Structure 1
Amino acid sequence: MEAEVSENTQSLSSLPQEITSLKDLHFPSEQAAFDYYFEYARLHGFVARRGGSKKSQDGMITKRYFVCHCEGKPAPKESMVAEKSRKRPSRRCQCLASISIGLSITTGKEDWVVQKHVVEHNHPLLTVEEVGHLSANRFIPLESQAMIKIFKKAGICVSDMVRFFKAEKDGAPLTFTAKDIYNFLDKDCLGMDLSLLPRRGDAMEVIKALKDKAEKDPKFFYQFTVDEDGRLEHLMWVHSQARSAARLFADVVLFDTTYKMNRYEMPFGVFVGVNNHGQSILLGACLLRNETIPSFSWVFKNWLSAMGRSPVSILTDQDKSMREAIEVELPETKHAFCMWHIMRKFPHWFAGKLTSRYQDFIQGFYLVLHQDTIQAFEESWSTLIESYGLRDDTHISDLFLLRDYWAPAFLRPYFFAGLSTTQRSESINAFMNGYMGKQTSLVEFVEAFDRAFDSRADASVKATGADKLFPPSTLTSTRIEKKAQEKLTAYSFNLFQKQLVLSNEYIVEGSYIFHYDSPERRWFTRFSADTDDIWCICQEFQFKGILCRHALKALIHHGVMELPDKYLPERSCQQPSIFTQRCSNKQAIEANPVLNLGSEGELWRKTFMSKATCLASSSVAKPELRQQLDQDINRMMEYTMSKSATTVDETTTTEKQTVGVSYLDTSLRNNSVLIDKAESQFGRILDIDNPPVVVTKGRPKGKRQNTSTSERQPRLCRACNKMSLHDSRNCPSKNTS
């Protein structure tokens, strides 16, 4: 057999599978020969790769070998290295299947001829579907890469991306897997591997992105620091809408740094507030190098500068460094500990010591928590500790010393919007799992936070509109309830209405209020007829911002027909929506060529997203829908490219003008400086390295020592309800017949 194969006369995809020998085939180039053999290998169940070669005296390659991917012997592994590396099986089994091509020059034209072809393999061959999963045959087409970037910005998970592409192919095998998408997303938005960019990489990109946000939105606030090695150290940013909301909703703040979903494992701190609809709102974010006093002081100082006001109260965990930083930077703010973080330590502290009495101790502890006054709390605390013999316990002593940080009797005079735990900030952390992951870069992290911020903004706008469309109904005919209905949001009014209805079950006796079923429990109230001031010993209004049932009963008893405005706080009343979509900014849209598509382009974008969502959620895609979607994508890309061409040229010109400008002096690296200061001084952005991977606090992973049975603490088994060394998973009672 003698034939000639050229790149123009025969397509690789038309290669017949029944060909068993390639000997004497001619190719115009070495690459053409390899491409042909690579396609031959794919159809016959293996992967081809380049082997050795022979060169002439002048260094020209005259012979080339293409071999099977199973050629050669497996490389030996040293025992010490094998323990640390992944133990992957080798595919090499000394397979001899190969072809050799030689170069012959006739009439001044290169001609590569297959001189030898060994067909037989000493291993099983794969099917066409199976060989497509090998790494050599996997690739992501350019059009699919563009779609993946769009899906990533929309917060679509990888599994849904795979479902979309499978539906788009209508049963045809994909040339990539979910792992390939993860690897592709591990690169920055420009497709550059960040690990290959130690300087001007991830850190430079995120600072540039924040600078661009500040240029489009003058009220956007950001700040960062770098260490002595030029690496990014701390970073924080606050959206303009969050700064606008500070006047009403930054009086109560939750701050938590337990979230570390980024590739550098930097602690992510988020400031969470509560709006007039009872919803969590994002009031700022930061990424820190460590959780030390200087780091927290830097965060609180800059956040206070952005907000322009000190919060009334702040809720955190029991981190000592955070507590000391708050005392210095927020001296006028009441600091409280999360009660949930305290209670979760009780089983470890007291279950082994109290054994069967542990559950009774917990019930008694909750009764102590609900004492209204400091005196009643301390008396009940002393009685509880004495009855369980915990007077000398170090944990009890530490809790009592810090009682003004967690005991409600000490916190009720301060406004906390009714919060006693950091559950909201932790729920925000769980909410962000849908936007970021452990390999999220800094640029992607900021973009993900923006999407989360917009999601919370949408919820606020929706709740504001719902209050207008569906006003709450009254249950009584009192003017007190009518005025509250007109002023308060539906969320606040429902809380108020509940207290108003329950006030009918209470009886007034002088300055005391008591429930008709429990006359022994009484609440002291103080009313001033001149100013209509009402004060209750439970201090519910001071703590939650909603009048308690006792105060409402006292007001009605003293003939107050209309609720004074001072008991309708502005933060609980209906307000115009502060949180709006960031993209509604006209200047920001005009500055972005991708967003500035005009009415026609916007229609294409909406059509595309609608059809893409339909296609991704459908198990069987219609061919006409896929065809129309392809047309929409092509039209949108053409329109966007034509719009963005001018902007790209302008950007390139600006970048050329900055070449050769001096770097920022290293003496400024330890200071907290803005990019604007650096650019005004040197005409360019700082050179900032990526931060190192942060070593987290606590026991290092993999360093846990085995604990003998005698050293373990007893714990409560949920199966047998006894204090023991087992739990519900291995309880002996389960094995009894």
Structure 2
Amino acid sequence: MTFSSEAEVTLYYMNYAQRMGFGMSKISSKNGDDGKKYFTLACSRAGKYVSTSKNLLKPNASIKTQCRARLNACICLDGRVVVTSVTLDHNHGLSPNKARYFRCNKNMGSHIKRKLEINDQAGINVSRNFRSMVVEANGYENLTFGEKDCRNYIDKVRRLRLGTGDAEAIQNYFVRMQKQNSQFYYVMDVDDDSRLRNVFWADARCRAAYEYFGEVVTFDTTYLTNKYDMPFAPFVGVNHHGQSVLLGCALLSKEDAKTFTWLFTTWLECMHGRAPNAIITDQDKAMKKAIEVVFPKARHRWCLWHLMKKVPEKFGKYSEYESIKELLHAAVYDSLSKSDFLERWEKMIECYALHDNEWLKGIFEERHRWVPVYVRDVFWAGMSTTQRSESMNSFFDGYVCSKTSLKQFVEQYDSALKDKIEKESKADFGSFNSVIACVSHFGFESQFQKSFTNAKFKEFQVEVSSMMYCHTSFEELVGYNSIFYVIESKKVYDKAKDVVFKVSYNEKDFEIQCTCCLFEFKGILCRHILCVLKLSGKTDLVPSHYIFSQWRKDIKRRHTVIKCGIDNLTGNVELQRVGKACDAFYEVASIDISTEEELLEVMNWIKDLKIKLTCKKNSPIIIEEVNSIQNQASRILDPIVARGKGRPPSKRKASIVDKIIKKKIAGKKTRSSQKRTSCQSSEEVILSL
């Protein structure tokens, strides 16, 4: 037989092998003295078995049987391929039904690869990914690949995305990101041995969001994210919907003052030297020292929840624990003034003789960092804890766990951030497209309805609705300020309690202030001020400076129009072209094709187009994947496992994935232990008999 090319004869023999039920491979190729090229296509079971097992008692399986079935051909000088000899007999069984399992018959088309990559980035595991393709193909026998092939391809794609080494892969990723958007900012800190210590990065969207939401941030390092035990340290703010917004993040190798100083300085440079007005952290001396150096003018607040959760640990052994706890909570949460707090604190100390308690002494000296009555005169966006950072940490659950490598972490970080951005976009649309009805006829409620986002307007409506629990009375006139007392009926532990608040109102300059400091703390007018406005007959409008700009929906914020600085991890131009073509084909297929004639017309058109495109391909196109960035100054080594600070294990938060794995392992150990105990008991009974 004669063929026009080597590829044609190879395809012919492959189809023959598939119909007969054996695999094929090219086993030799050489140039002859006559100028011709000779090659051999043979059964995949040709050749002699050579053991590669290190254990002679456990030999590896082999397919080699020295089968002589083959096809010999030569490429003539004019380009024609002539078959010189053929051996058809095999020394083993053939099975056409099993031919799809041979490697030569496995083929994964570009559209399949595209679907695998998309589903992988969406977080769909390979098993479900493959099962969906089985259903689509109407059975395993109709697929030209298996689940293992899908798994191998996904592993290969992930390696191509970020390279081989963790540190080097992150560096390559950051360089690519900066090429896409010059506003992408990153710093990699290495030690004297060129080993990665710390890394910080913030994309263009984070930097733009800081312009609007950088007045107050929370910072927390209590979440482990990777196999190097490097804590994930996000800077988190609050956007106009009250949602957490990422303002930069880091992976740290240590948690000492030097490392935090480096991080805060780097973050400040990233944000063009604009420091936050307020920052919330946990009770950490290293953080405190670094903040005093880098952000000397910022108000530093300790997380109230982290501090108060230590109460059982510090006083659990006291016989009067419940009473001490009740008095401490009353002093912290119920004090309306500094003098009130000091009075309650002294009462607790005197009553239970706690003068020598070192922990109480320490937190009392730093009371301006955590007691609500000492910090509520500053805008904190309604936050008193690092819950925002922790919620951002928990947001990454399902994407990362303690076994995640650094290069996997960067990849999953992008996926989680996309989800976060989509939620903000949905909230923007909700505030743009819908209006929450007012619950009163007051003009100021309608004013805030038009100005605030839906989420923040709901919070304002809570204050409007709670006016019914308040009773307002005029007390006195001091200069231009009218003093009002507002008595609010609060429900505490199923008991009604009256609490008195003092409101100062300068009607001339329209300046109004309440001792609860809700507006200063949260940016929303409190119910007590609203009651005074109602009593004064000023229910139409309030000055614009009482409509806090951070909660407004009518401001065009730059970060919402910046394309998210997330790397296109697909990165394969060929697959992108295939994707566009598939979308177009799906659109054609979705048109109502009601008759067999219409279907035949479409199929013939696709067949003609396929022939036309195939004829244009004179030579195979090789798509090269860029594995690394060239001309790097130096190679950065992977980090060493980070050492902890010696704090209790409960300090660290584990991801949901880690918790599930730990629970399963514990369950297996328990069952195996019970099984051993049962066996031992049975043996004892038998021996006694």
The TM-score with structure 1 as length reference comes to 0.64
Tell me if 1:366 matches 2:336: no
CA distance 1:343–1:387, shift in 2 (3 Å) = same
Between the aligned partners of 1:453 and 1:488, the Cα distance in structure 2 is 25
Query: Which of 378, 381, 403 is 1:414 aligned to?
Result: 378
State the Cα distance separating 1:177 from its structure 2 match: 5.6
The corresponding residue for 2:542 is 563
The corresponding residue for 2:552 is 573
1:406-445 pair list within 5 angstroms: 406-445=370-409
CA distance 1:70–1:168, shift in 2 (3 Å) = farther
Is the 8 Å Cα contact of residues 290 and 694 (structure 1) preserved in structure 2?
no
Between the aligned partners of 1:95 and 1:237, the Cα distance in structure 2 is 49
Tell me if 1:513 matches 2:486: yes
The corresponding residue for 1:532 is 510
The corresponding residue for 1:350 is 315
CA distance 1:689–1:560, shift in 2 (3 Å) = same
Matched to 1:366, the amino acid is H
Query: Which of 353, 361, 367 is 1:403 aligned to?
Result: 367
Between the aligned partners of 1:191 and 1:310, the Cα distance in structure 2 is 35
SS in 2 for 1:236: strand
For each residue in 1:483-528, what CA deviation from the matched residue of structure 2 results, as whole angstroms up to 9, or x when unmatched?
2222222222221222123224322241322136878631122221
For each residue in 1:600-659, what CA deviation from the matched residue of structure 2 results, as whole angstroms up to 9, or x when unmatched?
964745877999xxxxxxxxxxxx9xx99xx99x99xx99x99xx99979989x98xx7x
The corresponding residue for 2:639 is 692
Is the 8 Å Cα contact of residues 70 and 95 (structure 1) preserved in structure 2?
no
CA distance 1:179–1:64, shift in 2 (3 Å) = closer
Between the aligned partners of 1:192 and 1:142, the Cα distance in structure 2 is 23
The corresponding residue for 2:201 is 237
State the Cα distance separating 1:543 from its structure 2 match: 0.8
Between the aligned partners of 2:344 and 2:588, the Cα distance in structure 1 is 62
Between the aligned partners of 1:649 and 1:427, the Cα distance in structure 2 is 41
State the Cα distance separating 1:470 from its structure 2 match: 1.0
Is the 8 Å Cα contact of residues 234 and 289 (structure 1) preserved in structure 2?
yes
Between the aligned partners of 1:700 and 1:112, the Cα distance in structure 2 is 74
Between the aligned partners of 1:408 and 1:515, the Cα distance in structure 2 is 19
1:43-62 pair list within 5 angstroms: none
Between the aligned partners of 1:430 and 1:140, the Cα distance in structure 2 is 40
Gaps of 5+ in 1: 1-5, 18-26, 38-62, 75-91, 120-127, 195-200, 612-623, 659-683, 703-737
State the Cα distance separating 1:697 from its structure 2 match: 0.7
Is the 8 Å Cα contact of residues 263 and 693 (structure 1) preserved in structure 2?
no
1:206-605 pair list within 5 angstroms: 206-308=170-272, 309-351=274-316, 353-354=317-318, 357-370=320-333, 371-504=335-468, 505-510=470-475, 511=483, 512-515=485-488, 521-561=499-539, 562-574=541-553, 575-580=555-560, 583=563, 594=573, 602=580, 604-605=582-583
Gaps of 5+ in 2: 1-9, 30-39, 73-83, 476-482, 491-495, 590-598, 650-689
Between the aligned partners of 1:258 and 1:581, the Cα distance in structure 2 is 32
Is the 8 Å Cα contact of residues 126 and 147 (structure 2) preserved in structure 1?
no
Between the aligned partners of 1:651 and 1:266, the Cα distance in structure 2 is 28
For each residue in 1:323-381, what CA deviation from the matched residue of structure 2 results, as whole angstroms up to 9, or x when unmatched?
21111111111112222222333333332x136x5445444333222212222122212
SS in 2 for 1:451: helix
Query: Which of 168, 187, 190 is 2:160 aligned to?
Result: 190
For each residue in 1:114-145, what CA deviation from the matched residue of structure 2 results, as whole angstroms up to 9, or x when unmatched?
9999x9xxxxxxxx99xx9xxx99x9968666
CA distance 1:97–1:469, shift in 2 (3 Å) = closer
CA distance 1:15–1:115, shift in 2 (3 Å) = closer
CA distance 1:230–1:179, shift in 2 (3 Å) = farther
Tell me if 1:164 matches 2:127: no
Is the 8 Å Cα contact of residues 100 and 114 (structure 1) preserved in structure 2?
no
Between the aligned partners of 2:153 and 2:358, the Cα distance in structure 1 is 50
State the Cα distance separating 1:178 from its structure 2 match: 8.0
Tell me if 1:72 matches 2:59: no
CA distance 1:650–1:33, shift in 2 (3 Å) = closer
Between the aligned partners of 1:305 and 1:325, the Cα distance in structure 2 is 15
Is the 8 Å Cα contact of residues 114 and 575 (structure 2) preserved in structure 1?
no
Between the aligned partners of 1:440 and 1:459, the Cα distance in structure 2 is 25
Between the aligned partners of 1:437 and 1:306, the Cα distance in structure 2 is 28
The corresponding residue for 1:672 is none
1:108-147 pair list within 5 angstroms: 147=115
| Root mean square deviation of aligned Cα | 5.2
Tell me if 1:181 matches 2:180: no
Matched to 1:317, the amino acid is D
Is the 8 Å Cα contact of residues 204 and 564 (structure 2) preserved in structure 1?
no
The TM-score with structure 2 as length reference comes to 0.68
Matched to 2:123, the amino acid is G
State the Cα distance separating 1:205 from its structure 2 match: 3.3
1:99-110 pair list within 5 angstroms: none
Matched to 1:554, the amino acid is V
The corresponding residue for 1:149 is 117
Is the 8 Å Cα contact of residues 253 and 315 (structure 1) preserved in structure 2?
yes
Between the aligned partners of 1:700 and 1:529, the Cα distance in structure 2 is 54
For each residue in 1:259-309, what CA deviation from the matched residue of structure 2 results, as whole angstroms up to 9, or x when unmatched?
332343322211111111111111111122222222211221121222232
Is the 8 Å Cα contact of residues 126 and 150 (structure 2) preserved in structure 1?
no
Is the 8 Å Cα contact of residues 458 and 581 (structure 1) preserved in structure 2?
no
- Identity among equivalent positions (%) equals 27
Matched to 2:284, the amino acid is D
SS in 2 for 1:538: coil
Between the aligned partners of 1:493 and 1:366, the Cα distance in structure 2 is 30
Between the aligned partners of 1:96 and 1:608, the Cα distance in structure 2 is 44
CA distance 1:346–1:157, shift in 2 (3 Å) = farther
